Chain A
């Protein structure tokens, strides 16, 4: 199934990527090429095959529920685009 331009707009929104009008046409064509390559998978018989998420089949390691990290807010905020009084600034969310 080929993607339409409106599908690409929707995917871009889900990915929070602002695509310009002129980028949409080219992106639609390229994505359809890539999906053409990927769709070859559908011909493979995978009945009864368990999906493999981790090559060594490892499960998540657990640790004791204790504090291990020290507070490094100031260090981390020196590289933030906009901070004030120890808080990250974003545009107004609640009107």
Chain B
């Protein structure tokens, strides 16, 4: 493959991101524009931004790779990734927006009136963010290696470099527009090539598209997933979405709880449309590129398929588009996470100064770079699925119970988070020590028991420490669950 294609695609995406980030703000010079400039973000825009930030390497590359490997069983991943937003819509979006809190630690501190809860939540949020950035960087390493032939470390370093420069130089001033742009770029980058591929298949003119034989329909001999694994995976994905720090801060952009709900509804639609395409790639890959599964390069399927099935100039252009989409996925998720982690770290460690924010941004990008360079990637969708399991066993119980249960106490929240974190963390560690072949399914997919355990511990400890229910609880709960007063100047 032409290495220039990959480099050019990466450069173009980075440049577009930076330009929109720096100059994307609406500037008005006349009074007539004043209303335009001071209008809050419409749910459509914000939903696109959430989609842009949420669709990571796991969605863009991982889902197709997993479908190539394990067929229809892998369809539970896109289902779960999307359905998490249904939970968000029903249980979290509006109350969280009404709380007036910006980050998850802000919320838990306000709800439980305790600094210690804030510190523990911040620690968990930072841990989740780091674990989430690592697979993005692995995706970047894979994309650079496959498309340009450069050493793998170039990818993560380039992504972290671009993110650091834009965030530190103030290039995320219009983060909503950057992220919305990234969503539509990712959608285009998957949709346009697949249309061409289907067109080529229909015409039957491509040299690469030889007729499929039935023996290639299942390239690997993976055993189908049992009901436990599916349930556990769905628990992780449904509840894990509720605690993602970079998604939840986006709801602050909505002016009120009602528009937060509407935004979530649109996100559901946008994600549903998006996931049609990785699924299509996976299915085509099972027929036309089964060798990728055998050579352990399943995650590169989306990057390689257009070039394989359509050769020549057209193939190069389509590949460039897909590579651009992939880097949009790495950049948008990483920058979203870095910005929200930097917000948390700068507030809790550096006292909220401007310099502290920059330093915190560097820390939150460079630590995962170190972790990523020390480890190798195995299955993007699977690694991100484990981060969801961790989030579901730590942040989610505190968030859900904090919004819907009056009896939650600070002690219950802390012990619940620690229990969930330790259980899920040790399951992950045990799984890596044993290796995939020896790991029993209850360790490989721990969410089905760690999430209920975290909920149970949180509830039990809260019942035991009933006297610690904060005095501000009633006032805050009222605020969370009553619709806002209409603004005086609304028209």
Are A and B subunits of one complex? no
What is A's interface to B at a CB cutoff of 8 Å? none
